[in-house]
Amino acid sequence: MAILNLSPLTIKTLKRFRSVKRGYWSAIIIISLILLSLVAEVFVNSRALIVSYEGEWHFPTYGAIIPGEEFGLGYQYETNYRDLKQKFKEEGSDDWVLLPPVPYNAFETDLEAGNYPPAAPSFTKQHYLGTDTVGRDVVARLVYGFRIAIFFSLFLLICNYVVGTAIGCLMGYWGGIFDLLFQRLIEIWSNIPFLYVIMIIASIIVPNFWSLVIVMLMFSWMGMTWYMRTATYKEKEREYVMASRALGAGTARIIFHHIIPNTVSIIITFIPFSVAGGITALTSLDFLGFGLPPPTPSWGELLRQGIDNLQSPWIVSSIVTSMILVLTMVTFIGEAIREAYDPKKHTIYE
Amino acid sequence: MTAYFIRRFLLIIPTFLGITILVFTVTRMVPGGPIERMLTEAQMASGDQVSFQSNNQGIAGSTLSESQLNQLKEYYGFDKPVLESYGIWLKNILLLDLGYSTRYGEPVWESIKQRLPISIYYGFMTMLLTYVVCIPLGILKAIKHKTPIDNISSILVFIGYAIPGYVAGIIVITIFAFYLEWFPLSGFTSNNFDELTFFGKIGDIIHHSVLPLIAYMSGGFAVMTFLMKNSLMDNLAADYVRTAMAKGLEFKTAVVKHAFRNSIIPIATNFGENITIFLAGSFLIEKIFNIDGFGLLGYESLVERDYPVVMGILVIGSLLSLIGNILSDITVALVDPRVRFGG
């Protein structure tokens, strides 16, 4: 462990975290899901992974679109690789196409002649969870919706924690008028029904990803601020802060080098719950129609479709199952982290 | 103590003022407010009439005359300086005059007052049931710590905690209302409600409220159960319980007479939060179950851009949440005589 210089205390905490089995495995699964979602195009995409055409290999997944002409199809717009595969098969040529496991993207509508969407799950059509009310593949919507939701909530978390820690530490460290002023401000801010105000704002400006992060930040920075304020208040009175002040350390040094490292357990403990909160908030907004504009793939929109089309159970069941799995795993991680930092030993009477 | 609560109540005033300023600013910046809405409506209405009287109104685009527009602006206070119109609005709020709904034309306060009983019913029932179920369950889980009963119920409670209440609502609707058809899909009462007997009415309301109540409870339920369990376990580990056990007290008596009283305190802290819960999260659940309460009114008025109602709901919602916080403190003080608020 030469590169990562971990203190014995941190190693102990990590060991305790690993000992909570369900939290540890949830963490592994969730982190893999996040990493895999970064390259979701390889698994769920209408573009082929590899096309072998006249002895030449093409990799269309990333990069510019390849027009149909390139592969001897008579059109200039993007190649339909599913048709191409079909065509090669019928011709019996040496050319071949390797499609992703789910050969649909989140936006294209796949309509069957004579049938109105939503279509039930079908393995032959490779719509493993069926299609939604517009004929888009549910798996693709789920996967790309997950990617948006999780990164939305991660960015929101980072912003919240930066703002919350900065203001909270200063409130606790400076105290006095600054503290009082922000206390009042936070009280006002947190007594307003927050989802409702965001809906009002979202109904005025049609938000995109970043503006929605900023709007949410405006109404959710208070939580972390409050915890950090209390923690800083406690830490400020400890001897080590007094000692470093006596040595001539300035405010910035004391806060960044002494107080924050000592309160990092609070920050880490809250991360999973903030992630879950972020996903939930975005999903709620999308569900009500005040979130990211369509046709952005979104879990909230799928939920809405699911509840409006109960006769197509594959929509509601797949989205609800995904939500339960992801949110429960995130909560398990949170519980394990809390346990790792603050192991509870209970007395049990016989 | 009394002094503390008087001070708390007095502090409502500046906080409330702050909230009204915020609400006012938000709605002031809103484009597509009442006037634009009326303009579009007037345009649409005149669009229908064009075939009848195409020559009467010559002005293309704007169908309202300058003086009519000014009248409207005056009505909504847009003609005055911001500060002045804020003052007027604030005065009206204090007199519970929240203006008129642009959608229904009736006073906002009336619309809100009509919906409140339904929301209060659900809020109160949720709170009651949560306490009735969670406290015994928490005690059971604490006593049976690390046994199968504890582990299995933990997983269920965990899932309930992880998913938001309205998703729980969607699950129960799908299973129990759509597939099994045990409960109605939506609404607060049946269509033939007025024809039912007294007990029939009560039965009807209960029949309609089972599923929404599950959705409302799912979130707070987990928090309460774990709070109860953990605080009871902390207390069981405390010295005074050990002393009681050492004296030869039965375990049951030690739990009921000693540990329980102390472990109920954190639960009381949660009391006031319930008031805010049934306002904040409710529009999602009310929307799914189509319950015509406070939340659904808020959602619909937002969709319809009925800003007087939106503002009224914001103001009343914030006020209730302020009161809820104070109620929490009062309950804590009542349950735990050692608590002395001050400073």
For residues A69 and A76, is the Cβ–Cβ distance under 8 A?
A: yes
More confident residue, A297 or B336: A297
Cα(A238)–Cα(B159) distance, rounded to whole angstroms? 40
Q: Looking up tokens 């930066």, which residue turns up?
A: A162
Say which CATH architecture domain A9-37+140-346 belongs to: Orthogonal Bundle (1.10)
What CA–CA distance (Å, rounded) separates A155 from B131? Answer: 37
Q: What is the pLDDT of residue B54?
A: 39
Helix or strand or coil: residue B100?
Answer: strand
Task: Give chain B's domain count.
Answer: 1
Contact B236 A188 (CB under 8 A): no
How many of the other CB atoms lie within 10 Å of CB of B231?
Answer: 20
Chain B closest-CA separation from residue A188 CA (Å): 5
Residue A33 has a pLDDT of: 93
Bridge partners (DSSP) listed for residue A53: A56
The answer to whether position B305 is within a domain reads no
Closest CA to B226 of B134, B148, B306: B134
Q: B113 CB contacts (<8 Å, ≥6 apart)?
A: none
B3-57 pLDDT per residue, tens:
777 877 887 888 888 888 887 777 666 655 556 656 665 666 555 444 443 344 4
How many CA atoms are closer than 13 Å to the CA of A129, on its beta-carbon side?
26
At A156 the pLDDT is 93
CB A143 within 8 A of CB A36: no
Among B27, B284, B303, whose Cβ lies nearest the Cβ of A284?
Answer: B284
Q: Do A316 and B174 touch (CB under 8 A)?
A: yes
What amino acid occupies position B99?
A: G
Q: What is the DSSP letter of B96?
A: T
Q: Hey, which residues 260-299 in chain A have their CB within 8 Å of chain B?
A: 276, 280, 283-284, 287-289
What is the model's pLDDT at position B52?
Answer: 40
Q: What is the CATH number of the domain that holds B151?
A: 1.10.3720.10
Residue B32: what pLDDT? 52
> If you average pLDDT over residues B101-116, what whole number do you get?
79
Mean pLDDT for the stretch of residues B222-251: 83
CA distance A318 to chain B (A): 11
Greater model confidence, A132 or B342: A132
Confidence of residue B281 (pLDDT cuts 50, 70, 90): low
The segments of chain A whose pLDDT lies below 70 read 1-5, 113, 344-350
Of B14, B145, B325, the CB nearest to A348: B145
Size of interface A-B (CB pairs under 8 A): 126
Q: Does A309 reach chain B within 8 Å, measured CB to CB? A: no
Q: In angstroms, what CA-CA distances link A59 with A42, A68, A81, A95? A: 11, 14, 12, 14
Question: Which carries the bigger pLDDT value, residue B66 or residue B93?
Answer: B93
Which of A200, A287, A310, A338 to probe the B interface (max B CBs under 10 A)?
A: A200
Tell me the nearest-neighbour CA distance from B145 into chain A, angstroms.
Answer: 8
State the average pLDDT over residues B90-98: 79
The Cα of A42 is separated from the nearest Cα of chain B by a number of Å equal to 30
Q: Domain containing B266: what range?
A: 116-292
Instruction: Tell me, yes or no, if A218 comes closer than 8 A to chain B by beta carbon.
Output: no
The pLDDT score that the predictor gives to residue B38 is 61
For every residue of A3-51, DSSP letters joined together read SS---HHHHHHHHHHHHSHHHHHHHHHHHHHHHHHHTHHHHB-SS-SEE
Position B313 scores a pLDDT of 82
Which pLDDT score, from 0 to 100, does residue A3 have?
54
Q: Where are the domains of chain A?
A: 9-37+140-346, 46-99
Task: Go through A315-348 and write b for each residue having 16 or more CB atoms within 10 A of its CB, e for each that does not.
Answer: bbebbbebbbbbbbbbbbbbbbbbbbeeeeeeee
Cβ pair B263, B231 in contact under 8 A = yes
